[in-house]
Amino acid sequence: MRLQTFSSSTSVEELLVCINKDGALILEGLLDDKDISQFRKELDPYMDATKVGGDDFTGRATTRTGALIARSTKAREMVMNPKVIEAANQFLAPYCKRIQLHLSQIIRLKPGQGKQVIHRDRWAWGHYLKDVEPQFNTIWALTDFTEENGATQVVPGSVGWPDDRKPAPDEICQAVMSAGSVLLYTGSVFHAGGENRSNQDRIGVNLSYTLGWLRQEENQYLSCPPDIAEQFSPELQDLLGYSMGQYALGYYTAPGKPGEHPECVTPAHAVRGVSDGALGGEELLKETSPVSDR
């Protein structure tokens, strides 16, 4: 058993056919050596200063470095990759009006890191979501992912399994891929970090997208506050969560003296001064109004 591998020129429609069937795939050639070098130059100091995890799940020989969007120009380019964004939007469209960034994290498996327990990323919200796919995830390989250095374990076709189903060894494969490739996978597919039996670090970048009306795993408003996010494009600001998640979800009123700030504005006001008074009510009415038969 193995994951299907596609070139970067493959259509989004073809990728989604595989994603819906297997729950995961490998997309080759999204980064070149220059891209990886820039990313490493910008973020290696933060990664090198990160301590290993404090429990078995996060990894006692694994480092996890976040706030990538605030810290790296290359990370911002990666998270806005047109093909990945289009695939994420189409995949999650049945469950939301807009998507948002769920987390950004460098995951480094150091030599000696054992296998992570098989799990679903959607368990971040517990087991409360039923009949909803909440996530579209990516792991970008900054080093080669090999069987020896802990390439991600994946259970193809497990998206419809009950939560308590345990995969047999022959149902698990590894996302073996070259540096610059990306593992695309859903929030429902069973997977886990592999065992690093090599003498080198295995480094990947986890960029994950979720439904606009769910809480993010990485709090982007704290990792990338308005004074940083205001420098970004409106599209990236919206992806970080500086937009309404749905009708009336996410508005705020800035603290201040009476009349100093407008009341009940969208999060976009914090980063680009948008305050037209609209909170999405017209969209709600269009969805709920009965269709006239006249």
pLDDT in tens, 193-241: 999 999 999 999 999 999 999 999 999 999 999 999 999 999 999 999 9
pLDDT at position 274: 75
Residues paired with 119 in a beta bridge:
191
| DSSP structure class, residue 276 | -
- Is 60 exceeded by the pLDDT of residue 106? yes
pLDDT at residue 293 is higher than 60: no
CA pair distance 139, 89, nearest whole angstrom: 17
> Looking at the domain covering 5-220, what would its CATH class be?
mainly beta
Residue 287 is predicted with a pLDDT of 67
| DSSP E strand boundaries for 212-289 | none
Average pLDDT, the chain: 94
pLDDT of residue 213: 96
User: How many other C-beta atoms can be found within 10 angstroms of the C-beta atom of residue 83?
Assistant: 17
| Radius of gyration of the chain, Cα coordinates, nearest whole angstrom | 20
State the maximum Cα–Cα separation within the chain, in Å, rounded to a whole number. Answer: 73
Closest among 194, 199, 202, 154 to 178, alpha carbons compared: 202
Strand 202-211 to 99-109 pairing: antiparallel
Q: Please report, for residues 48, 157, 271, the alpha-carbon distance to residue 261 in angstroms, rounded to integers and kept in the order given.
A: 42, 51, 14
Contacts of 255 (CB under 8 A, 6+ apart): 261
Query: What percent of the chain clears pLDDT 70, i.e. is strictly above it?
Result: 94
Percent of the chain with pLDDT over 90: 89
Chain CA centroid to CA 71, Å? 17
Q: Give the pairing type, strands 153-154 and 173-174.
A: antiparallel
Residue 142: closest CA among 37, 50, 275, 41: 37
State residue 284's pLDDT score: 62
Average pLDDT (5-30) is: 98
CB contact set of 283 (below 8 Å; sequence gap of 6+): 97, 247
How many C-beta neighbours within 10 Å does residue 98 have?
17
The residue type of 168 is: A
DSSP conformational letter for 206: E
For residue 91, the tally of other CB atoms under 10 A from its CB is 21
**pLDDT of 294 strictly over 50:** no
Each domain of the chain, given as residue ranges in start order, spans 5-220, 247-289
The values of phi and psi at residue 188, to 5°, are -100, -15
pTM of the complete model: 0.94
- d(CA 57, CA 130) in angstroms, rounded, equals 24
- Looking at residue 289, its pLDDT comes to 56
Q: Per-residue pLDDT tens for 49-87?
A: 999 999 999 999 999 999 999 999 999 999 999 999 999
- For 125-136, b where at least 16 C-beta lie within 10 A, e where not — what string? beeebeebbbbb
